Amino acid sequence: MLSSVKYFCVTAKKETPVGIVTAASHENEVVTLTTLESMLDGDINMQSTVIIGNSNTFSWNNYMITSRGYRDKYKLDSSS
């Protein structure tokens, strides 16, 4: 996994949002929103799914959002 992270760190911005879901749909489910730069600071194991955003992805109210051409259609308050 470390080589994959190195690849993304070279090709994407360090502040790219990353979502990590561990034990999805189980009682002990953990959802973490972090950045590419900090993703290895958390706990990633065999039960984890890692979602790395693209150049249009941003964080808003503890969600990862990737616009699909509607960037200017909806005005989101970025102060949250």
For the domain that residue 14 is a member of, what is the CATH number?
3.30.950.10
pTM confidence score = 0.77
pLDDT digits 0-9 by tens, 1-32: 567 777 777 778 889 999 999 999 999 999 99
By percentage, how much of the chain surpasses pLDDT 90? Answer: 50
Alpha helices by DSSP H, listed for the chain, are 2-11
How many folded domains does the chain comprise?
Answer: 1
Domain coverage including residue 50: 2-66
Is residue 8 included in any domain, yes or no? yes
The per-residue pLDDT for 70 is 62
Is residue 71 included in any domain, yes or no? no
The per-residue pLDDT for 74 is 67
